Amino acid sequence: MQQTTRWAGAAALALLATSLHAQSLDDLKRDSATPGDVLTYGMGYNNQRYSPLKQINTNNAAKLRPVWAYSLNNPQGQESQPIVHNGVMYVTTHNSTVALDPATGKQIWKQEIELPQDVFKMACCGILNRGAAIYDGKLFRSTLDAHVMAMDAKTGKQLWKSKAADYQNGQAMTSAPLIANGVVLTGIAGGEYGTRGFIDGWDPATGKQLWRFYTTAAPDQKGGDTWPGDTHLKGGAPTWLTGAYDPDLDLVYWGTGNGGPWNPNARKGDNLYIASVVAIRPKTGELVWHYQFSPNDPYDYDATEVGMLVDMKIGGKDRKVLAQANRNGFFYVLDRASGELLAANPYVKVNWAERIDLKTGRPVPTETDKKARAGEDVEIFPSVLGGKNWTPMSWNPSTGLAYANTLNISWPYQLAKPEYKKGEWYLGVNFRGVNMPKNEPHGYLSAIDPMTGKSKWQMAWPGQPSMAGTLSTGGGLVFTGAATGEFIAVDANNGKKLYEFQTSSGIIGLPVTFEHKGKQYVSIVSGAGGVWALLGDERMSQVPAGGSVWTFAVD
């Protein structure tokens, strides 16, 4: 009898522990409205990276102080977004997952991942991971060797692990999964390696693959006639960032990347669905609509950073839109139910297209673009890094502005003969890096009107541009970080810097804010690296490596 009682008590405690860590689909839907939690990549299915919290605001931001710092014991670039639930913070690196106390930084558990040694020479661009997803008491993440795994959120114990692709072909997984309508969705990296992109749907309980949507259309599929021969098999269109989700429409929006090779003459045609956004059903992977930003893209203008879901008035009407600052230099606003193009305007210097035709949705090429496609050596704005790179922007509904770290960089462009070799870059371009304009900033923190592409204000980055994400809050603040390691807070209305703190390395991660026991905190992962480091900027030699999590609050 005594033993039975002990078992019953243990079972009750186990049930309590499970319920404390369980999350429902409704919890995920409410993420943007529950400031105590950060349950999704993007701080809400809408990917707006906005929090209504205002305990930290323009009046007291100068009183911010670091509360704790936690070493990730990892020298690689750190691009992870923390997840916070029920008094626990989860952070990923390329080879570990950690659970922390969000108020103190004390480690609760840590699980390391064993990776094959040859994976590191085949993963573009940077050895990293961008975060986890949480649902029903489980934590989900991807791995550099192209697997998806689930862990018990309470203990870190692995529950299942499924293979998505062969990393030796150049495919990797770096992004956070997305949970939509009970399905785990993941993308794939490797567009520079002559691979074929896809989006997968997985069963969260078992890891069984439910469906796969290929992002280069086969001859027997809609859009297949936009690829000559079998070029779609090495056509790129990687899906290496996390999508957004509209539960009311039951549509997942996922961005796709460059065509393979970069040389567009090797795959003449629009090449659906490269450099596009696709709207799909999460239960089945069915394509509902698509919009292609850069048909037959020659310039590596990924559309993988899908953008934000925003409700706004356009022409006096309430519209549900998807807003994206595309790497091609244009800021797009699309109707997210139909894919109708509503606006497209340059937000940085652009010389490859005159404009985007609002009737056809297609770019109108310039003479510079025509020369590039003919094989001449030309200078192209924006560069291979885009007008904005991979890091997400944020939205403030009070100002009606998008806050993004933008780039003012060009690149020398000339076609070359493409040669495919397994596990090596498949470009077909004489790649010579990027050009930094003289006597001009190389990047800005920009407050952009999505309908015009014009900035209300810009804060120039001295020296290296920022590759960090941004966070907007109800306190009228925008948080971000610098390549040289400064964590900063600025006034969302005018760009005035209100706070700055030097972290231990460069920042290329994504800030989040949350409330814990009545106190507002802001956290960001620090650790230089990523695509900027690959360009060999000599100034970065002065920035120490080393990953860490920093958390701030007002005294």
Catalytic residues: 300
Residue 29: how many CB atoms within 10 A of its CB?
Answer: 18
Three-class SS state of 234: helix
Q: Is the peptide bond prior to 52 cis by the omega test (within 30 degrees of 0)?
A: no
CA angle 362, 320, 445 (to 5 degrees): 70
CA angle 283, 285, 289 (to 5 degrees): 120
Residue 73: how many CB atoms within 10 A of its CB?
Answer: 14
Q: Please, which residues bridge with residue 81 across strands?
A: 131
Task: Record the tokens describing residue 350, joined without a space.
Answer: 């652009």
> HEC string of 68-119?
EEEECCCCCCCCCECEEECCEEEEECCCEEEEECCCCCCEEEEEECCCCHHH
CA gap 30, 18 in Å, rounded:
20
CB neighbour burial string for 320-330, b if at least 16 within 10 angstroms, e if fewer:
bbbbbbbbbbb
Q: Are 49 and 502 in contact (CB under 8 A)?
A: no
CA gap 32, 34 in Å, rounded:
6
Q: Which of 225, 216, 221, 181 is nearest to 202 (CA)?
A: 181
CA gap 239, 551 in Å, rounded:
30
* Share of the chain residues as helix, strand and coil, in percent rounded to the nearest 5: 15, 35, 50
Question: Taking phi first (over 0 means left), then psi (-120 to 50 degrees means alpha), and beta for anything else, what does residue 105 get?
Answer: left
Three-class SS state of 552: strand
Please tell me the total number of residues recorded for the chain in this structure. 555
User: Distance from CA of residue 287 to its chain's centroid?
Assistant: 21
> HEC string of 292-330?
ECCCCCCCCCCCCCCCEEEEEEECCEEEEEEEEECCCCE
CA gap 415, 430 in Å, rounded:
6
Q: Are 449 and 456 in contact (CB under 8 A)?
A: yes
Three-class SS state of 401: strand
| DSSP state for residue 169 in the 8-state scheme | G
CA gap 484, 505 in Å, rounded:
7
Q: Are strands 50-51 and 471-473 parallel, antiparallel or unpaired?
A: parallel
